[in-house]
Amino acid sequence: MSNFQDIIISKYNELIRKLSKYNQNLSLVEKAFNFALYYHKDQKRLSGEPYIIHPLEVALILVDYYMDPITISAALLHDVIEDTNLQIDKIYKEFGQEVGFIVDSLTKLQKLSPFLNTVIFSSKNKDLTLINLKRLFISTSKDIRVIIIKLA
């Protein structure tokens, strides 16, 4: 077994151990992990690190703040749509409305980030900047977990 496989297993076991201390329903998180692991299976960062380590680390941050299994599952899935050819409908079908909405919102937020950076830091049109920021906050305010995952 490679060192990275050991790291993935170790982080996953830590996540489940921490989550099981305050929540007995682990099936959604287990399903999300296996789903994300499958879809990220061949993806590596420039460093050579398997991509799944990033969502696992985000989930570990969230479990330390006692977030619910829906939030942790969405964190595990948050880059699957962005980084694979999977469509968001599959997330809604497999994980339900709440997880689907959070993952969908995070994907839209991710797509908006380069645009916002350009507008915020280089735009001379402050009205345009405020309008775009307002849209961003309105879309994410429907579920605060979107912002929480993004910050994690």
Q: With helix as H, strand as E and coil as C, how does the chain read?
A: CCHHHHHHHHHHHHHHHHHHHHCCCCHHHHHHHHHHHHHCCCCECCCCCECCHHHHHHHHHHHHCCCCHHHHHHHHHCCHHHHCCCCHHHHHHHHHHHHHHHHHHHHHHHHHHHHHHHHHHHCCCHHHHHHHHHHHHHHHHCCCHHHHHHHC
Is residue 49 annotated as part of the catalytic site, yes or no? no
Is residue 94 annotated as part of the catalytic site, yes or no? no
Among 14, 30, 49, 82, the one annotated catalytic: 82
Among 14, 30, 49, 83, the one annotated catalytic: 83
Active site residues: 82-83
